[in-house]
Structure 1
Amino acid sequence: MKYKERIVIATIVTLLVLFTLTLFKRNDISLNSEQRERDICEPKHSYMTADWTVDSIYDNLNFTVNSKDGLYTVVEKLGFNTGHQIKHSEPLRIIVVPHSHNDPGWLWTFEDYYTIRTRQILTNTIEALNRFPDFRMIWTETVFLDRWWKESPEPLRLAFRDLVQKGKIEILSGGWVSVDEATTHYTAVLDQMIEGHLWIKEHFGIYPNISWSIDPFGYSSTLPYLWRKAGMKDMAILRIHGAVKGFMGNRKMLTFNWRQPWDKNGDHDIMCHVEPFTLYNIECSCGPDTEICKVLDFSSVGSFPDNDQPINFGKNRRARNFEDFAELVVGQYKQKAALYKHNVILMPHGDDFRYIESYDFQTNYENMKRLMDYVNKKSEWNIKMEFGTVSDYFNILHAEIKKSKLKDVSLTGDFFTYTDKDNEYWSGYFTTRPFDKRMIRELQEYLRATETFMSLIYVYLLQNTDSMPLDLDSDWEAIQLARRTHSLVQHHDAITGTSTEGTVIDFEIKIYEAINSLIEIIQKRVTNILSPGTRTNVADLKLTRELPSPKSNLEVKTISSTSDTSSLVVLNSYSVPRTEVISVYIDTYDVEVFDSKNKVVPYQVSPVWLNHYTISQHEYQIMFEVNVPAIGFSVYKIRRRSLVINHVVKPNKKDKSVFSNVISVKGKIDDKYRLFSINKDEENSKVDFIVENNFLKLSFIKATGALHEMCLKTSTKYCTKVAVDFFRYFGNNSNAYCFNSNKLEEDLFLKADSVTLITGRFMSQVKVHHKLFSHSVTLYHSNSIQGQTVHIENNATLLTPEEENTELMMRISTNIQNKDIYFTDSNGFQMNRRKPRKNLPIGANFYPFTTMAVVEDTDTRLTIHTAQPLGVASFTPGSLEIMLDRVPMSFGKGLDEPVTDNKPAISKFILHLEQFRDHHITKDYRQYQMQPSMTSYIINDLLQNPVISLYSFTSVNFKIKELSFLNSDKLPCDISIANFRSLLTESGKFIGTGLTFHKRVTSCNVHQNENICSGTHELDLNSLFKDLTLEKVSQMSLSHLHEVRNEISRVVIKPMELESFQFRWKT
């Protein structure tokens, strides 16, 4: 072979090798990309595998007017009769379950209910169950058990525990309370469940395994996952839409397997039983004829007469004797059984606060026993009737399913919005008393921060210092009390705002005391760690916010000191480092700001407003950007360059650049000392004004101050209509529970008193004031994630009689072509698909909105993040309506008073606009489960976990300037810390730290300004925390009841799953 030929062949071979290597390399990159998407991105072809979705049921429903005073009656609607087909070889099993529904606050306060009713119920239960061995009782509210246990003598405690362990008293759900399922955040639900479950385990040595949730006003799709993950195999519910009950009963679907939309294989299915009739009282439990069933309410109507005596019921109805009446009751049982697939029915026998007196136990037992004995002897009826627990019912049910191999259908979705009567949709409580909903979320924020820092500071000081601070035991007790207050107000008559005004005041006092106790703990313990070795129990630090009274919102405190320097400690309880603009109020603007490395930090001075037009002359808002590590803090210094003289400092002309520019677009501004550059905008000018930063450009309507366009200044250069407006509904048929208004007053912005534009180095803001509300839109000039979003804050002020029967709304309108489909969160855990149903009333179209709502089309997504639970709806393409406050004046649903105790109600939102990288078109909604982007998750996390700032009122030189407890790079960004708590014994002894992680699934099909982080296959628990020495980590069941794996170091968490761990520290 010639030399040239060899050269050519060598060259070709070389090129082939390079091409092959390149190909392999590209394949490797592709695999890495695919692996990343498997780890953190939503599946491209995920499919809901349940037999039914709640949406599909609604699509098949024919909503008609009901004949029985508008009340939904399942059997009436379906034309059922007594023809239940009982298998001749096996009797119909009827399990009669005595129960007493005890609300820890509703018409009365928790203390009043306990003192007057619940204490006697629990005590008399012991006597009755020992006297009547086959009688039973169920219980759900651990908060009442805790109070009774503390007050009861040891013999009573032992007797109660014995009945629980024998199964004669069954503890159901086991949470601290029976939670609301619409307005609660899943982390709060989890926290109260852990609190209750650990109490039950410590005092009774049992694990609750059935959820009993018969009174919440609609049901979440997320909570069944929590119950199942916590070890519950079955659940029972009641309050779902009456027409939906009819549809399900007609198809024998009132027992079904509840499936998560993302759970393809049904690994977390939970068997759910639905009670078919209106309420859980006796008259609504035995069958559709309430007049017959009411006779069985022996505490109210008395005992059965003698066998040969007639039994009167209803207005003009009579059974000739006991035997005839028993046959009527059996007919009711058969009609109820006709709604179920299986040959067993659950028969709740009780009501609110039943079985107070010993007589109640005796008369109900003796009369029901008489009926049971008679029915059981009638062999031709083929019925076996007995007292039992909910576990007894489900055990028989599962045994029959196993034997018959007749499985129940699976269903995905939630049961909102609830109604039991024509046009009376229970969506008002999504917003009722928004002041309290916001304060409960504030309590959650402070509890989370205090739990996190108290636990880690305690371990840090224990391992790194020779002396511990004084009085730590009282801090643990205070944390436990605050935690239990937070758990209490998750109840379905607390956070919902559906209690009497007196009870609401009691809840507000408890929240106020809890927040202030947590603030005190933070102040003391942060002081301790900044100066390790000090044992003082006096805080050198104070929070920059305070809660002056139970009826007040948290207020910003002004840093006032004769010292020339104040330290500002910024805490971050979130698991990601954060860079953001914060603000403090101070009594002088003539300052210098230094970071933890003693570098000068630029700042902006903005006015503090005494009202919507008057600028304070004695305090100033100082704004600057901070960098705070994950689960840590940074110390900043604010040095006064001149002291305040007579509370007024004349402006220094050379520093005018730090002052905000204030423009009066509409109305007047009173700035007596002219510290700010005040400009009056040209009147009658119709030109929009612009506010922008490096990421966004916002356009506002000059005449009203309303936002109406939003532009992305990133590579896409995209603009879209994002218009904000306010309006209100009127109507005199709404109550605390139900929204039933339909008259409109639009364009409230046109009646605004003032519009003000404030611009500066770190923040620009538009402020609008109306007599019913104040509204601000803020854009931060930061290159962090904070600068990529629009921040909205409202303060609703429906405080005068003129606002009666008002429902105040904020609407966000866009030109997004979402084809009427939008999404709302389910307790902050996952997203649910929604669509307006124009055949139903307005109130039927509002849904719970606890963390975020989304409208999107094939190109664009707008997410609205909320810092408090409210109601949301969508009636036109691309729009969302948010209910901000309401003054319902009608009575109803058991609460015989209007809601007139309104207070200024602050609501906070963030708007986040994103564009998709690729068009996504899904014809079948089962193939598309909306997932937020990673950026969107982080934005929401930052909103729910705000930084906390503390200042020193004396000049203090702290030893530590910056500290982080978390190796944030060891925690993948798709894994969040859902629960962080100090694990305490009932006596208050610290035994470790409990953490629950959530592996979230994200949408990777959006343009993001940050690099999408890579998911990791394993989570290394041993390297998670810095400067703290672990003894061991154990994997626990979700609510920490039992150990799953001991001595675990690495763990794999599956997408969407929650997993709990216990961290034991070396001491």
Structure 2
Amino acid sequence: MGITSRRQRFPRLLITLCLVTFGIPLSSQEDKTKCHQACHPTVPGKINAHIIAHTHDDVGWLKTVDQYYYGSKKEHSQLGVQYILDSVTSELAKNKDRRFVYVETSFFWRWWEEQNDHVRASVKELVDQGRLEFLLGGWCMSDEATPHYSALIDQMTLGLKYLNDTFGECGQPRVAWQIDPFGHSAEVALEFADMGFDGVFFGRIDHEDIALRKKNKTMEMVWRPDDTLGPEGDFFTGVMYNIYDPPAGFCFDTYCDDEPIMDNPKLHGVNVNTRVNEFIEVVKKYAQAYKTNNVIITMGGDFHYVVASSWFKNIDKLIKYVNAKPNSDVNVLYSTPACYLQALNKENITWPSKMDDDFFPYGSDEHSYWTGYYTSRPTFKYFVYQVNVALQMTKQLKTALPNDTLADEQFLIQRAMGIAQHHDAVSGTERQHVTDDYSLYLSEGVQAAMKVINVAYRHLLGDYLPEQQACLLMNISQCELPSPTTNYVVLYNPVAHETSSYVVLPVPVGSYKVFGPAGNELETDLLPIQSSVLAIPGRQSTATHSLIFNATGLPPLGANLYLIEKTTAVPTIAQAKTVAKNEDIVVDNGKIKLIFNGTTGLLEQIVRNGVASKLKQNFYYYEGAKGYNYNPLNRASGAYIFRPAKDEKIAVNETAEIKVFQGKNVTEVHQIFTPWLSQTIRVYSNDENIEFIWQVGPIPIVEWQGKEIVTVYDTDIASNSTFYTDSNGRRWMKRLRNYRSSWNWTASEPIAANYYPVTTGAYIADKKQRLNVLVDRPEGASSMRNGSVEIMIHRRLLYDDNKGVREPLDEIAFSQGLVARGTHIVQFVDVRHAAKKYRLRNVRNVYRPWLTVSKADVPNSAEFKISAKSNSFSLLKKPLPHNIHILTLEQWTNSTVLARFEHIFDKKEDPALSSPVPLFFNTGFVQPPEPTENG
């Protein structure tokens, strides 16, 4: 069996062992039809209005996921999902003509756990008959801009497997339903196509785009997100007329103001004829935007159907009276998206196409571009990405344990990560107390994961190993070593090939020795931690220095054990270099030279192979627009919306205080721009990668003016208004400044409308050079001038943007503005090798080694060396090639393991590494060891 470079074949994403793509065995077309024989017939020659009765239940937003489920905290929202499911299933059972669709598996799981056998049997009957149909099937309706594709696949797998295990074939969704995310990703569309969905429907696309589509009847299309796949990559895509809300005047929930259908002539207030005529006009208006005589009418909205009878009674009447109306050219029917697609298939229509493009950014009006949420809540975004590594590691390690070991613990972290992908979670568009709850779930997930990790480590390294502690605050140099003398560090590599990684361990000042798994002493550097880091609010650590060593030979899907020994020797600490005033400062690591202006303290040039090139970097901010949103011109910048008050950004400072610390293998440049913004630039010996470790906050507020902080990398690359952003960490999207492929764009917001989401990186290039910028969390990015990459890293705003959250994005921690600290890895490289360098480093950046610490149970390094044979392990018999990644390795059933392999290079991206790779699975995996007493 071989794996080709993605985009050489379809499905291009991966090969899955034991199960089909993404782990959900989709039924054959014949099986699907058997489960969905309940479609009501359409009427030829009439406009068929497909009523989609639905509820959109956010998995956290104004309330936490559990508050929404129970209906608690009514001061935030009156609604409870448990009552929706109670009510809907009861009302469906009363009338076999009714249909309902449901999406959020996370909520359904909560509800199903509480039902008795009688209710479960009734609901299974509804599902088997196609009267209750699941759409999408993921644990949540995910965001499409900010999640990493591995997390998207995991949350879909979790939900789809649950539905399959609970309902079998008839519980498997046939249609993706992404009605609320704020823009739509090419990578997500490709994944949905790979999953076997018949199509996707969504509601939010740019206001200019949808206006043109309504006019030209192109609301439905064949989307080819990756043109290199050809027709095999085509995916039917439908845009809803009214996002996902009911038509104006036809909301029948108990808290809606619209008039019900009153049809009893014995009573006063009969309005049935008027209401029926109004509804017919709505249907005809909608139909003018579509190519066939079929049109979707969404009847539902946010947390609708708490009292489902209110909806169903009125829809029943609409269907009855519209269809009975003499000479009417409208037919109304209960339907589902799957039934709607079935009707479209009979029309034999040639659909318009959208080629090699996506639906970002989303502008709901000319001054409301939803590009701020790409960066909103940067510390939470980082936490989500950290926990994703813990989840992948947990699933991998659990395959080495007996099947039923700690299954609940793995499910807990899977659930936590599942809800974190919601379009009001990792997006950063939820209220603060909801973010806190997501973080609590993720923290509990990590705690549960550590139980699996510790049991697996004792299996694989030995029962002697003390319980390991995770280091989740390494980005603020906080990871307390439990013992004052000797400690273990375990470094787990979740990537399927051998790698190396520099460890930067925060320690108190002192002399330390580090011993590798073979018992050999490793070379170390001891550098002072930057003063601004030590002053981060809430930081609780005695560490004042960074102990740095190179952990080489990290085994594939495996770990190395290291011993950290504190000695009584006088510590050797890297001292600040003396720099002559006004002279350029040169940092030379043997591979590249970085040149800083001695007067300003700012980076200005990079020298590679003796050739100097422009590489400037500085920090700026946009003033967030103030406003109370009473019209588009008064739109405020907020959690969703990025709207700068001025088109020009302002430099945080034109100079920086600078100190240079040079160790044996590591050099750090410490820059302080202001008391609230600083940076450490780190380079390692003979390494082209440059780490820019920025620290922002508390962002000062003066005269109620919010700020949106960006960093800019300026080069002399002739980028010609072109830049590239990743699509959920997987494929590249070409972006052109001030351009849209589907319509002639109006430049009403020239800054915000040129921002795009990045989850792992962005780049610019010309025929000779390329600048890659790798990020450690989702961020918004642009190229506002040729040769420049601009990335937004933090936001603090004092006005709400009136998109529903009703709370300004003013994050407070420890009684002051939030401090965010993160890393960009910059590669300024020859364009011929840029793709290789980016892809190989990006895998290590996303799936970074997981570090844990514990007290050491050996008195000294000599004892540690004796046990060297048990200081390392790998789940693989041999590493995979560097261009092949194991995306998933997890226990699936008692007798099967789910493994997904992917080729990480695009077709023709690299002359060698894009080639197909043969894999021989019978020699690649290690059998799990026999369980010990702790198992």
TM over 0.5: yes
Distance 1:327 1:503, change over 3 A: same
- 2:253·2:304 contact (CA, 8 Å) conserved in 1? no
* Bigger mean CA offset, 423-432 vs 507-516: 507-516
Distance 1:1002 1:352, change over 3 A: closer
- 1:704·1:749 contact (CA, 8 Å) conserved in 2? no
Q: 2:305 aligns with which of 355, 362, 374?
A: 355
Q: How does 1:557-596 map to 2 (within 5 A)?
A: 557-559=479-481, 561=483, 563=485, 565-587=486-508, 589-596=510-517
Distance 1:718 1:155, change over 3 A: farther
How many angstroms apart in 1 are the aligned matches of 2:534 and 2:386?
28
Q: Which residue of 1 aligns with 2:285?
A: 335
1:707 and 2:603 are equivalent in the alignment? yes
How many angstroms apart in 1 are the aligned matches of 2:535 and 2:433?
36
* Amino acid in the other structure paired with 2:177: W
Cα distance, 1:216 vs. partner? 0.5
How many angstroms apart in 2 are the aligned matches of 1:514 and 1:478?
8
Distance 1:275 1:765, change over 3 A: same
- 2:491·2:559 contact (CA, 8 Å) conserved in 1? yes
Distance 1:89 1:305, change over 3 A: closer
Q: How does 1:161-560 map to 2 (within 5 A)?
A: 161-205=124-168, 206-277=171-242, 279-283=243-247, 290=248, 292-293=249-250, 299-306=256-263, 322-357=272-307, 361-401=308-348, 405-456=349-400, 458=401, 473=405, 475-531=406-462, 534=463, 540-543=466-469, 545-546=471-472, 556-559=478-481
Q: Which residue of 1 aligns with 2:35?
A: none
Distance 1:788 1:437, change over 3 A: same
How many angstroms apart in 1 are the aligned matches of 2:875 and 2:915?
22
Distance 1:407 1:836, change over 3 A: closer
Question: 1:661 is paired with a residue of what secondary structure?
Answer: coil
Question: 1:348 is paired with a residue of what secondary structure?
Answer: strand
Q: Which residue of 1 aligns with 2:650?
A: 746
* Amino acid in the other structure paired with 2:478: V
Deviations 1:229-278 (A, max 9, x none): 1121111111000110122222221111111324443213221111123x
Deviations 1:770-794 (A, max 9, x none): 223221111011x5xxx22111111
1:901 and 2:811 are equivalent in the alignment? yes
Q: 1:722 aligns with which of 615, 629, 638?
A: 615
Question: 2:780 is paired with a residue of what secondary structure?
Answer: strand
TM-score of the two chains, using structure 2 as the length reference = 0.85
Deviations 1:568-618 (A, max 9, x none): 332211122112322323446333333233333222121245546899997
- 2:710·2:791 contact (CA, 8 Å) conserved in 1? yes
Q: Which residue of 2 aligns with 1:808?
A: 709
Distance 1:619 1:808, change over 3 A: closer
Distance 1:438 1:704, change over 3 A: farther
Distance 1:491 1:256, change over 3 A: same
Cα distance, 1:935 vs. partner? 2.2
Cα distance, 1:1022 vs. partner? 1.8
Distance 1:555 1:170, change over 3 A: farther
- 2:227·2:356 contact (CA, 8 Å) conserved in 1? no
Distance 1:447 1:966, change over 3 A: same
Q: How does 1:87-166 map to 2 (within 5 A)?
A: 90-116=45-71, 117-166=80-129
Deviations 1:120-153 (A, max 9, x none): 1111112101112211111000000111111122
How many angstroms apart in 1 are the aligned matches of 2:158 and 2:643?
37
Distance 1:411 1:380, change over 3 A: farther
Deviations 1:795-839 (A, max 9, x none): 221355448511111111111011001100000110101111182
Question: 2:230 is paired with a residue of what secondary structure?
Answer: coil
How many angstroms apart in 1 are the aligned matches of 2:694 and 2:480?
22
Q: Which residue of 1 aligns with 2:679?
A: 775
Q: Which residue of 1 aligns with 2:797?
A: 888
Q: Which residue of 2 aligns with 1:847?
A: 756
- 2:56·2:302 contact (CA, 8 Å) conserved in 1? yes
- 2:679·2:692 contact (CA, 8 Å) conserved in 1? yes
* Amino acid in the other structure paired with 1:621: S
Deviations 1:144-173 (A, max 9, x none): 011111112221122112211211111000
Q: Which residue of 1 aligns with 2:74?
A: none
Q: 1:1020 aligns with which of 920, 924, 927?
A: 920
1:835 and 2:736 are equivalent in the alignment? yes
Structure showing greater relative contact order (alpha-carbon pairs closer than 8 Å, 6 or more residues apart): 2
Q: Which residue of 1 aligns with 2:693?
A: 793
How many angstroms apart in 2 are the aligned matches of 1:941 and 1:723?
26
What runs of 5+ residues in structure 2 fail to find an aligned partner? 9-41, 72-79, 627-635, 740-746, 813-817, 859-863
Question: 1:222 is paired with a residue of what secondary structure?
Answer: helix
Cα distance, 1:481 vs. partner? 0.4
Q: 1:945 aligns with which of 816, 825, 847?
A: 847
Question: 2:576 is paired with a residue of what secondary structure?
Answer: strand
- 1:933·1:1002 contact (CA, 8 Å) conserved in 2? no
Cα distance, 1:694 vs. partner? 2.4
TM-score of the two chains, using structure 1 as the length reference = 0.75
1:1001 and 2:905 are equivalent in the alignment? yes
How many angstroms apart in 2 are the aligned matches of 1:955 and 1:998?
40
What runs of 5+ residues in structure 1 fail to find an aligned partner? 1-35, 44-86, 284-289, 313-319, 463-471, 643-648, 664-678, 919-931, 985-989, 1031-1066
Question: 1:400 is paired with a residue of what secondary structure?
Answer: coil
Q: Which residue of 1 aligns with 2:22?
A: none
Cα distance, 1:1016 vs. partner? 4.1
Seq. identity, %: 23
How many angstroms apart in 2 are the aligned matches of 1:745 and 1:854?
21
Distance 1:136 1:294, change over 3 A: closer
- 2:905·2:914 contact (CA, 8 Å) conserved in 1? no
Q: 1:639 aligns with which of 552, 556, 565?
A: 565
Distance 1:758 1:189, change over 3 A: same
- 2:668·2:682 contact (CA, 8 Å) conserved in 1? yes
Q: How many residues align?
A: 847
Distance 1:588 1:544, change over 3 A: farther
- 1:604·1:761 contact (CA, 8 Å) conserved in 2? yes
* Amino acid in the other structure paired with 1:304: I
* Amino acid in the other structure paired with 2:723: Y
How many angstroms apart in 2 are the aligned matches of 1:618 and 1:502?
31
* Amino acid in the other structure paired with 2:575: N
Distance 1:516 1:756, change over 3 A: farther
1:866 and 2:775 are equivalent in the alignment? yes
How many angstroms apart in 2 are the aligned matches of 1:365 and 1:541?
56
Q: Which residue of 1 aligns with 2:629?
A: none
Distance 1:487 1:617, change over 3 A: closer
Distance 1:41 1:336, change over 3 A: closer
- 1:972·1:1014 contact (CA, 8 Å) conserved in 2? no
Distance 1:324 1:183, change over 3 A: same
Distance 1:272 1:954, change over 3 A: same
* Amino acid in the other structure paired with 1:194: T
* Bigger mean CA offset, 633-642 vs 253-262: 633-642
Q: Which residue of 2 aligns with 1:965?
A: 875
- 1:453·1:573 contact (CA, 8 Å) conserved in 2? no
- 2:220·2:351 contact (CA, 8 Å) conserved in 1? no
